Amino acid sequence: MEWLRGRPYLTLWIALALTLLGITVSQIDSGEGPAHFDMPPDPSFVKACGRCHTPFAPGLLTVGEWNRVMDTLQDHYGDDASLDGPSRLGILRWLEEGAADGPEATRLMQRIAETRVKTQDLPRITISRLFRYQHQEIPAHVWTRKSIGRMSHCGACHIRAETGRYDRDEVKIPR
């Protein structure tokens, strides 16, 4: 932060204000604050749901939406993502516990879910108005790059999406 150099009092006031907000300067610098989304603790989740795309955090859809996704794995957005019974139920339990309308949900999760456009099709994280707002500065031609391909390829730009981290200072848009 070049502009803060030689301005010790300003730095101090900003640090104080951020501390009051529960944020420390080092968190902002290093992106080591809490992750935006909690991920299930067991690696079998990423193995089952991160094989074809970014493993989406439970907090990105509601309980009802996750049930729809998990009830239709044989016909999953045009793919077959079937799981055996026990695996399916185990994953569904994690998804429900961390869902956007579940007990652990944060305001960010609730807002992404509340602003989602209602549809008869399988639910899409990316049709949320808040999601569109957060990504409005990305021009259309960037989304269609080979290295990205689709909006739901979160991990193409959010380099630690697998662990639920979506820090702004870690975004790397691939060429």
The contact set with ligand HEC (CB under 6 A) reads 36, 48-49, 51-53, 56, 60-61, 69, 76-79, 81, 91, 124-126, 134-135, 138, 142, 148, 150-154, 156-158, 166, 168, 171, 173
- Cβ atoms of 158 and 170 within 8 Å: the answer is yes
User: Cβ 101 to ligand HEC, closest distance in Å?
Assistant: 15
Query: By C-beta, is 9 or 84 nearer to ligand HEC?
Result: 84
Query: By C-beta, is 39 or 56 nearer to ligand HEC?
Result: 56
User: Cβ 16 to ligand HEC, closest distance in Å?
Assistant: 22
Helix 63-71 and helix 85-97, axial crossing angle in degrees, nearest 10: 160
Closest CA to 73 of 96, 55, 54, 92: 92
CB atoms within 10 A of CB 62: 23
Closest CA to 112 of 98, 93, 126: 126
User: Cβ 146 to ligand HEC, closest distance in Å?
Assistant: 12
User: Cβ 35 to ligand HEC, closest distance in Å?
Assistant: 10
- Cβ atoms of 123 and 69 within 8 Å: the answer is yes
Query: By C-beta, is 7 or 60 nearer to ligand HEC?
Result: 60
